[in-house]
Chain A
Amino acid sequence: MQRSEEIKTHHTTSSIMPEKTVSLITAVVRDRHGKVLSRERHEMRSFVRAWNHILCINGSPPGGVSTPDTGNVWRSLLAAPSNFQCNAGIGDVSTGIRVGTGNTPVDIAQYALIAPIAEGAGAGQMQHQGMTFSFIGVVGNVCSFELGRVIVNNSGGAINVAEAGIYCYAVENIPPGNPNRPFMGARDLITQNVPDGGAITITYTIRIVA
């Protein structure tokens, strides 16, 4: 079937880099019937401070690394198996891919989306489906995997999505409980309008290259 809608493809810095060797963010917007309205794919802009700090604690004795959680509360980290966990289920916005309406440029020290969209079906809210993961594996000298999430707009009006990010857990060093805390590991700017009844699918393709 011929698609009449315009597919918006947005390339930023990836236009000067081999697309198959960089990490990517892809956003696809569909209407209430599943028809694709727009699509955007470009080089993933940035893992941010917390990602690097969570990685660092896995090379450090306990208590050596602190970083702010998504509420801007500094937490002393602990190397633990919950670190990087982001397999959020339906309606869970503590971890997983989040979207927001803030368009402030990415800064390495950001600890949360500027204006994260809340879970729900009320005005300005979106309904988050469960996270999906796929390990693609090795193709040539590239090893990659994907994580994705569908986020549905049943708010009654259109929502402009301007940012996306990855929230994940890390463990705070408070024995004996050592609670999980949410951190933002990556943030990117996108420009998508999601109509009422429609949905946006965000996919991160994470690659390493030998």
Chain B
Amino acid sequence: MMGKDLEYEVVITDKDGKTILRLKEPARSFLKAYSQIIFSYMSRVPQSIKDTGGVNRAISFGGAAPLFYAGAGNVNEGIRFGTGNTPIDISDFTLQSPIAQGTGAGQLDHLGCYATVPTVDGTESAFKLTRTGINKSAANIAVSEFGVYGHAYEGSNWRYFCIVRDVLGSPVMIPPGGAITVTYSFKAVE
């Protein structure tokens, strides 16, 4: 559950909802911030964690902390999409070039991002985290990277961290009116 049991699926649909691309692969990487957040939660030892803006934050425990679900249009948390293709470094603290929320050129309209109810099947427990981004602009958008943003507390303030990042071997193209759906499967395997 700390790196080897994560996979993703990418589905691209056109404006009519027809699937034009589907790929499923092992995810490349949880990032340092994920390890630090889990460590802090387990130990109660504060950690200095670099947020998605590159600012070091002292993580503490001030209240309820949903880690990575997001409502529609919220791009502080949940799955994000981006156009960067720089190889993954475990110390990455953000996507290289995250795509903004919106309907303008180069933007995606982000739907809500929630985990499914976990299941146990044979030797594994799994849940999925899914998000769809719709291209409401008039031009194609090429997605090369995606990841998961989550939050933790600094004092009483929410701070946002990139906990997972993956880079595609080649970009996937989202046509106008089309959409990208990325689903991460988090697993614990015997």
Seen from chain A, the residues whose Cβ lies within 8 Å of a Cβ on chain B are: 22-23, 45-49, 51-53, 55-61, 64-65, 78-87, 106-109, 131, 133, 135, 137-138, 141-145, 147, 168, 206-210
Between A and B, 20 residue pairs with Cβ closer than 8 Å are A52-B188, A56-B117, A57-B115, A58-B67, A59-B114, A60-B114, A79-B66, A81-B65, A81-B153, A85-B44, A86-B43, A142-B90, A143-B35, A143-B91, A145-B39, A147-B43, A168-B42, A207-B2, A208-B90, A210-B89
Q: A23-B2, A60-B115, A108-B124 are in contact. Are A79 and B67 (CB under 8 A)?
A: yes
Q: A58-B68, A78-B64, A109-B120 are in contact. Are A87 and B189 (CB under 8 A)?
A: no
User: Are A81 and B188 in contact (CB-based, < 8 A)?
Assistant: no
Query: A106: nearest residue on chain B (CB-CB)?
Result: B190
Give chain B nearest CB distance to A201 CB in angstroms.
17
A-B pairs with the 10 shortest C-beta distances? A58-B67, A59-B115, A210-B90, A133-B43, A81-B61, A208-B3, A84-B41, A79-B66, A52-B188, A210-B29
- Tell me which of B29, B42, B115 contacts A85 (CB under 8 A): B42
Q: Given the complex, which residues of B lie within 8 Å of A208, measured CB to CB?
A: 2-3, 29-32, 34-35, 90
Known: A45-B190, A131-B43, A135-B36. 5 other contacts (CB 8 A): A58-B68, A59-B127, A60-B117, A81-B62, A206-B39
Q: Given the complex, which residues of B lie within 8 Å of A143, measured CB to CB?
A: 31-32, 35, 90-91
Please measure, in the bound complex, the distance between the C-alpha atom of A137 and the C-alpha atom of B47, giving whole angstroms.
11
Please measure, in the bound complex, the distance between the C-alpha atom of A109 and the C-alpha atom of B34, giving whole angstroms.
24
Please measure, in the bound complex, the distance between the C-alpha atom of A118 and the C-alpha atom of B69, giving whole angstroms.
38
Please measure, in the bound complex, the distance between the C-alpha atom of A163 and the C-alpha atom of B28, giving whole angstroms.
31
Q: Would you give the 0/1 interface string for B66-99, flagging 1 where the beta carbon is closer than 8 Å to chain A?
A: 1111000000000000000000111100000000
Q: Given the complex, which residues of A lie within 8 Å of B41, measured CB to CB?
A: 81, 83-85
Query: Number of contacts between A and B (CB, 8 Å)?
Result: 161
User: Are A59 and B90 in contact (CB-based, < 8 A)?
Assistant: no
Q: A58-B150, A84-B38, A108-B190 are in contact. Are A209 and B3 (CB under 8 A)?
A: yes
User: Are A135 and B39 in contact (CB-based, < 8 A)?
Assistant: yes
User: Are A52 and B64 in contact (CB-based, < 8 A)?
Assistant: no
Q: Given the complex, which residues of B lie within 8 Å of A80, measured CB to CB?
A: 64-65
Q: Given the complex, which residues of B lie within 8 Å of A142, measured CB to CB?
A: 90
User: Are B28 and A210 in contact (CB-based, < 8 A)?
Assistant: yes
User: Are A79 and B90 in contact (CB-based, < 8 A)?
Assistant: no
Please measure, in the bound complex, the distance between the C-alpha atom of A138 and the C-alpha atom of B3, giving whole angstroms.
14
Q: Given the complex, which residues of B lie within 8 Å of A45, measured CB to CB?
A: 190
Query: B36: nearest residue on chain A (CB-CB)?
Result: A135
Query: A86: nearest residue on chain B (CB-CB)?
Result: B42
